[in-house]
Amino acid sequence: MTKALRETGTELVKRGLAEMLKGGVIMDVVDAEQARIAEDAGAAAVMALERVPSDIRKDGGVARMSDPEMIEGIKAAVTIPVMAKARIGHFAEAQILQSLEVDYIDESEVLTPADETHHIDKWAFEVPFVCGATNLGEALRRISEGACLIRSKGEAGTGNIVEAVRHIRSITGDIRKITQADSAELFDWAKQLQSPLPLVQEIAETGCLPVPLFCAGGIATPADASLVMQLGAESVFVGSGIFKSEDPAQRAQAIVEATTNFADADKLAKVSRGLGEAMPGLEIGNLETRLSDRGW
């Protein structure tokens, strides 16, 4: 009998993990203790990083990949998947993260970009990548570079959901329009979106992105999670929203339950009660840096 061929790092295997994270919450954590709280609350995965986005925003300076020691500590603390961030275009950071065997790499605008023209060639890696997008064109460019999961960017570290809504609506709205376009119009869509035609044609046929679509950037309450899930997100990333709130454990669990029951207002009313103060929010118009503008 011939031995069945085993393949690792295939598109199916890399996109498959994103499928497993659907209907879940991925939480930013800065140490093993927070990772355990996240796992106890029902997080589907954790994102290991040195500072949550609201602190990166406050501290200023250059934000880089986290210390491998800290990532190892978080990997050892939990049994759920561990993601970590690399700077946009910084393939050497990504190579290090792959060597650390993280489960997903986030090529993230939350860190300071390393390359203002090129994103990482993600096909060159066996570890799957998630990338942010503010619109459909950006999402398709990231997918053409090998991203296996897209998250709408929102505006990280603000606790303000308005940009997340703008981005998820822009992506799902354009997908809906493309499904109504005729074959000649698809060429123009590809041109307008600055995206590969085959991906546009695939969307016209399937009515969805070729990879899962999650939402990030500004989710601070169970109602926020429900809102973006109802707008078409398949999971949510919560950054500063949990560990910058008054009672992280309780809020984390409430957001997990809200994500599962995103369309059930009675359940949402129940889980939203008595959570204490949410993280302090920021007005988008007053921001010095718009993280979502990073990425090309």
Chain contacts with another protein (rule: CB under 8 A) = 4-10, 12-13, 16-17, 19-24, 39-45, 79-81, 98, 101-104, 126-128, 253, 256-257, 259-261, 264, 267
Mapping DSSP to helix (H, G, I), strand (E, B) and coil, where does residue 99 land? Answer: helix
- In degrees and rounded to multiples of 5, residue 244 shows phi and psi of -105, 10
Nearer to another protein, 51 or 267 (CB): 267
Per-residue DSSP letters for 30-77? Answer: SSHHHHHHHHHHT-SEEEE-SS-HHHHHHH-S---PPPHHHHHHHHHH
Least distance from another protein to the Cβ atom of residue 84, Å: 12
Nearer to another protein, 4 or 184 (CB): 4
Dihedral, 41, 42, 43, 44 alpha carbons, nearest 10: 170
Nearer to another protein, 80 or 96 (CB): 80
- For the four alpha carbons of 83, 87, 91 and 95, in that order, the dihedral sign comes to negative
Mapping DSSP to helix (H, G, I), strand (E, B) and coil, where does residue 106 land? Answer: strand
Least distance from another protein to the Cβ atom of residue 170, Å: 23
Least distance from another protein to the Cβ atom of residue 233, Å: 13
d(CA 196, CA 93): 27
Nearest partner of 153 among 110, 196, 208, 117, judged by Cα: 110
d(CA 50, CA 85): 10
Both tokens of 18, joined, read: 């994103």
Spot the catalytic one: 14, 75, 85, 153.
85
- CB burial class (10 A; 0-12, 13-18, 19+) of residue 246? exposed
Least distance from another protein to the Cβ atom of residue 173, Å: 21
Nearer to another protein, 22 or 290 (CB): 22
Both tokens of 80, joined, read: 């759920």
Nearer to another protein, 128 or 295 (CB): 128
Least distance from another protein to the Cβ atom of residue 8, Å: 5
75 is catalytic: no
Least distance from another protein to the Cβ atom of residue 104, Å: 7
Mapping DSSP to helix (H, G, I), strand (E, B) and coil, where does residue 167 land? Answer: helix
Element at 174 (helix H, strand E): helix 162-180
d(CA 83, CA 35): 11
Nearer to another protein, 125 or 189 (CB): 125
Catalytic machinery residues? 85
